[in-house]
Amino acid sequence: MSRQKRYHFRNLYLTTTVSIALVLFLIGVETVLVLGARELVGKIRENVDMTIVLRKDITPEQQERIEKLLSVAKFARDVQFVSEQQALNDHISQMGEDPTEYLGYNPLSASYVVKLSSDYVQKDSIAAIAGALKSFDSVSEVLYAEDVVTALDNNINKYSVVIVSLAAILLLVAVSLIITTIRLQVYSRRFLINTMKLVGATSWAIKAPIVRKNIVIGLISGVLALCMVAGLIYYSQHSLGLELISLSWQNAAIVTGVVLLSGVMITLLSSIVATNRYIRMTTNDLYFI
Model pLDDT for residues 143-153, shown as the tens digit of each residue:
887 777 777 77
Highest mean pLDDT among 6-10, 65-69, 90-94, 198-202: 65-69
Position with higher pLDDT, 256 vs 41: 256
Query: Is the pLDDT reported for residue 79 higher than 60?
Result: yes
SS3 79: strand
Q: Is the pLDDT assigned to residue 98 strictly greater than 60?
A: yes
pTM > 0.75 = no
Calculate the dihedral angle through the C-alpha atoms of 209, 211, 216, 221, rounding to the nearest 10 degrees. Answer: 140
Find, among 145, 120, 140, the residue nearest to 52 by Cα.
140
Is pLDDT at 223 greater than 90 in this prediction? yes
DSSP line for 146-164: HHHHHHHHHHHHHHHHHHH
Residue 180 has pLDDT above 50, yes or no: yes
Write b or e for each residue in 73-110: b if 16 or more Cβ atoms lie within 10 A of its Cβ, otherwise e: bebbeebeebeeeebbeebeeeeeeeeeeeeeeeebbb
Nearest Cα to 156, choosing from 119, 115, 117, 116?
119
CA distance 10 to 219: 17
DSSP 96-138: S--THHHHSS-----EEEEEEPGGG-SHHHHHHHHHHHHTSTT
Percent pLDDT > 70 in the chain is 90
Q: Examine the pLDDT at 205 and tell me if it is beyond 60.
A: yes
Q: What is the reported pLDDT for 276?
A: 79
Question: What confidence tens digit (pLDDT) does each residue in 130-166 have?
Answer: 888 888 888 888 888 777 777 777 777 777 777 778 7
Burial of 182: CB neighbours in 10 Å, binned 0-12, 13-18, 19+: buried
User: Rounded CA gap, 24 and 271, in Å?
Assistant: 17
Question: Which residues in 200-226 are b (16+ Cβ under 10 Å) and which e?
Answer: eeeeeebbeebbebbbebbebbbbbbb
Residue that wins the pLDDT comparison between 227 and 2: 227
> Which pLDDT tens digit goes with each residue over 229-273?
988 888 887 776 666 666 678 888 899 999 999 888 888 888 888
CA distance 67 to 81: 9
Domain ranges within the chain, ordered by starting residue: 3-43+153-288, 49-144
* Alpha carbon distance 111, 207 (integer Å): 71
Q: pLDDT at residue 5 above 60?
A: no
How far apart (Å, rounded) are the C-alpha atoms in residues 211 and 276? 11
Band of residue 8 on the pLDDT scale cut at 50, 70, 90: very low
CATH of domain 49-144: 3.30.70.3040
Q: What is the pLDDT of residue 260?
A: 93
pLDDT tops 90 at residue 43 = no
Mean of per-residue pLDDT scores for the chain:
80
User: Which band of pLDDT confidence, cut at 50, 70 and 90, is reported for residue 284?
Assistant: low
* CA torsion angle 225 230 231 233 (round to 10): 130
Report long-range pairs for 231-237 (Cβ below 8 Å, ≥24 apart).
Answer: 232/29, 232/32, 233/32
Strand ranges, E, within the chain: 49-54, 76-82, 111-116, 139-144
